Structure 1
Amino acid sequence: MPPAAPRPPLPLLLPLLLLAAARPAAPPHRPTFTCGGVVSGESGFIGSEGFPGVYPPNSKCTWKITVPEGKVVVLSFRYLDLESDNLCRYDFVDIYNGHANGQRIGRFCGTVKPGALVSNSNKMLVQMTSDANTAGSGFIAKFSAAEPHERGDQYCGGRLEKPSGSFQTPNWPERDYPAGVTCSWHIVAPKNQLIELKFEKFDVERDNYCRYDYVAVFNGGEIDDAKRIGKYCGDSPPAPILSERNELLIQFLSDLSLTADGFIAHYKFRPKKLPTTTVPPTTTTVPATSIAKPTVALCQQKCKRSGTLESNYCSSNFVITGTVITAITRAGSLHATISIINVYKEGNLAIQQAGKSMSAKIIVVCKQCPPIRRGLNYIIMGQEEEDGRGKVFPNNFVTSFKTKNSKILNALKNKTC
């Protein structure tokens, strides 16, 4: 018997496989986002132009999303960083049902991500708008298709045209409303009638600025010209609301964390001409467009600060120290963002917080008086708009902030006015 053949060498393929395994993996592909587009499929991502770089100023980008017929679009923001403003008037992302003339699901800005947004069909439109002054990375969001029955408990909203009716949050009254839900009710009365709205029960996650879960009520139904009446959360029902004309829009949004009982509300149509004694109080919030242009007489007054820190402290609704980080002239007024150093008297001033930094929006009614300049530190005393923006008139006390002022301000903080 011939001797056994020697063991054959390893196949030549093995060294090649080992060599391939030793090579570094290819770097992950980073998607490039452009201004808008048409996207479709079971799922995908959209993002602001240039993300994660700073988005460009003065732009309007539109994305049209389509998922397979018979399904609905679910949009989840993975990241959101747009100029922060209580009413989202400057830089914002709008989400609409459908691709044309659809009901707006919501408008978002700042850095607080909304919960999952659900369309009522297989089409959704996303539109991002920026003004001349921008600061932020924009957004990235994932869209996906879902069966309507998969989110059946979260469906809500719609068009209400009967002379009276009710609507409520999903799951009411059996259990808490779900996390990550958005609802829009559009109430439409005949042209010669108004709408009276009353919340019977109300329990929505509490937050000083209603950033997480909230109900927003608008005069009008087309978002571009709708005026926000108020934004509500907590466990106290808003005061009864009477519309200015024949349409009201009510939006409810919950984020992805805490939930609560929710609400039930009732509406009815009323004749347009109501006796003044029967008109209920509308709300405690002033619409965004209500800031009057400063009168010429007011702004022609000599700009001279009067009094001292002590004499002006109690007559001011808010007292802060901070650095002016943006200053933009609009209709004769100066709209400024203040990076806050310290708050001595808060009142109803809306203070935004991102990490450890805090900021507030103020309006200097007459842009030259009192004078403030970007990059400088000030003590600012003033009043507030009812939507939380600070308002500074020529007779309000504003002066440069120096460290030595802190001692006086801390003493005033403990003073009973």
Structure 2
Amino acid sequence: MAVRMILFCVLLPALTYGQASVNITRPHFPCGGLLTADQGHVASEGFPAPYLPNTKCSWTIRVSRGRVVILSFRHLDLESDPICRYDHVSVYNGDSPSAERLGRFCGTIRPGAIISTSNTLFIEMASDDDSNGKGFLALYTAGLPPATEKQFCGGKLVKPQGTIKTPNWPEKAYPPGISCTWHIVSRPHEHIELKFEKFSVEKDNYCRYDYVSIFNGSSKNEGQRVGKFCGDSLPGRIVSSSNELLVQFVSDLSVTTDGFLAKYIMKNKDGSPVETKPTVTTTTVSPTTTTTTTRPRKPGRPVLSACRTKCRRKGTLQSNFCASDFVVTGKVLKLSPQGQNLQVTISIINTYKMGRLATREIRGETVARMFLLCRRCPNLRKGSQYTLMGSVDAQGRGRILPTSFFLVYKPQQHHVLTKLTKRQC
């Protein structure tokens, strides 16, 4: 009996210690707050659990005087949209959303490091009532002004030509433990050529530690990966299959080397370089004179012919009902950029006029595809319901112009639209 009591007394502290050692407390991320340490993490509420719908959270980061805030996203997973209209994270250069906005982000592509010009940075995250993901996680530190900081990389590149290089190039080796992503975007119907001029990244037969990965498109999709490179052999010339190319550089926490220097250039279909200063010509006609003015246009941003028209619907509900090939009410299921247009997938609620509009059945829903000839007009929102009308092309797809008549759908419209179907145009 005495022996058993001794063993129990010896084992009890060990068992208690063992239980305590596995009881790890996860960090708690609230919805917003004031962060005043010189280093820390900021994340969406409850990260890594999915963030909540219909929520807006804001954080103010304030570090020591004389320093700037350096914000590096470690994880980003928000509903994707070309212009981040739905779920997004916005970063402002100050202590409120009235300050200069440094960026608005969504999707899964992490931006490069963001640096304030003072000791404060304001972050705001908003979500709608639809899709969500894990949110975001970012590290912030107090640093010196950008003139003395050279350890940052990545970002979106839209100029017709440019340079990509690792942090610290060429003075010294790249830093350990960094992840940089460059998203190169040209205009539709153009492609991107990337050529490495210097290359020295930690060597490994399988490029498991430090490496450069290159993807066609705008996401890190393994099916679209062009190659993964490391060592000191120059990768060959890379040509994108579309107007977007993604370059990712990752280094682990151990060996670092010189890094790389690469140059890209955007080219037309015929192989000729894109003009560095494209122009737009406009003509003004008066009763007595005709004036032609040529002005520079920002490179890398196409001018959509349909978008030259103001986003303003014309006519009345009745006049447009008669002039349109189709009139339907429906819910927006998907928005997909298609070159200069925006393809909209609609789940039809009611049909008042069909014309030659093609539809199909998907899981019990009647679905139609339509094209906005200008991405901004009308400004449709995924998950919302609309009354839409327009013309139909030879393939049976709806065409919606910036001047097309549309309404945010309300149930009382059904009575009015039903009456119009019985009238003779």
Give me the TM-score of the superposition, normalised by structure 1.
0.49
Give me the TM-score of the superposition, normalised by structure 2.
0.48
